[in-house]
Chains A and B, each alone.
Chain A
Amino acid sequence: QKEVEQDPGPLSVPEGAIVSLNCTYSNSAFQYFMWYRQYSRKGPELLMYTYSSGNKEDGRFTAQVDKSSKYISLFIRDSQPSDSATYLCAMSDRKKVTFGTGTKLQVIP
């Protein structure tokens, strides 16, 4: 069993839709949770970084962490074609960062 499981996608949505991206994990030692966006042939870009359970909002992005269920989510409101990319969840146990496999998102104009 992988430590981090991410919905495989690909996910295709119309412009303006609310997008929900999710990951589950099995390692209780994970304390820090991140979301990265990766455009084709580019390095990942840090979008959101959270430590505790609950919600964190930044513009159109909301990160949600539920440690009791070992489940994290990223919501994108009013999705734009420029949001089309691969979204990677990542988690840290203070020793190393473990990434999910990524969900490819396409926002159709």
Chain B
Amino acid sequence: DAGVTQSPTHLIKTRGQQVTLRCSPKSGHDTVSWYQQALGQGPQFIFQYYEEEERQRGNFPDRFSGHQFPNYSSELNVNALLLGDSALYLCASSFDRESHEQYFGPGTRLTVT
């Protein structure tokens, strides 16, 4: 059973550019959440997608947007990248939006120069 997968593993972008990160949830899971983890910090909740709609959102600007596809996979888009966006971006899936048993992918490490 494949767990949560994310791509790419690493990414280097220049300030002002745009980036798209991808996530495939664990088999049987229909809810995807995205987190940003800065070095030495805990993950910070960005938003949650369920039934192709954003259901919950953390304290992140609208430069951060997302999408969920009919197969439950998801994308995170970040526009107008800032140096402070450099972090590990984690995707987590759960079997429904009420479940708090989240399973995380390995993350995408984004470096903004």
Q: Which 5 A-B pairs have the closest CB atoms?
A: A99-B42, A43-B104, A32-B100, A92-B100, A96-B45
Assess the B101–A49 pair: CB atoms within 8 A: yes
Assess the B104–A45 pair: CB atoms within 8 A: yes
B34 → A minimal CB distance (Å) = 11
Assess the A96–B56 pair: CB atoms within 8 A: yes
Q: Mark A41-75, 1 if CB is under 8 A from B, else 0.
A: 11111100100000000000000000000000000
* Residues from chain A with Cβ under 8 Å of B56 in the complex: 95-96
Q: Can you spell out 15 A-B residue pairs with CB atoms less than 8 angstroms apart?
A: A4-B42, A34-B100, A34-B102, A43-B4, A43-B107, A46-B101, A46-B102, A95-B56, A96-B56, A97-B45, A98-B45, A99-B42, A101-B40, A101-B41, A102-B41
Assess the A42–B100 pair: CB atoms within 8 A: no
B103, CB-defined interface residue at 8 Å: yes
Most buried by A among B4, B33, B41, B43: B43
Q: How many residues of B contact A (CB 8 A)?
A: 24
Q: How many residues of A contact B (CB 8 A)?
A: 24
* Residues from chain A with Cβ under 8 Å of B100 in the complex: 32, 34, 49, 92, 97
Q: Secondary structure at chain B's binding surface: helix, strand, loop or mixed?
A: loop
* Residues from chain A with Cβ under 8 Å of B103 in the complex: 46
Contact of B42 among A45, A92, A102 (CB under 8 A): A102
Assess the A101–B106 pair: CB atoms within 8 A: no
The distance in angstroms between the C-alpha atoms of A34 and B92, with both chains bound, is 14
The distance in angstroms between the C-alpha atoms of A4 and B109, with both chains bound, is 25
Assess the A96–B42 pair: CB atoms within 8 A: no
B21 → A minimal CB distance (Å) = 13
Assess the B43–A99 pair: CB atoms within 8 A: yes
Q: Mark A83-97, 1 if CB is under 8 A from B, else 0.
A: 000001010101111
Known contacts A43-B90, A43-B104, A43-B106; A94/B98 CB under 8 A:
yes
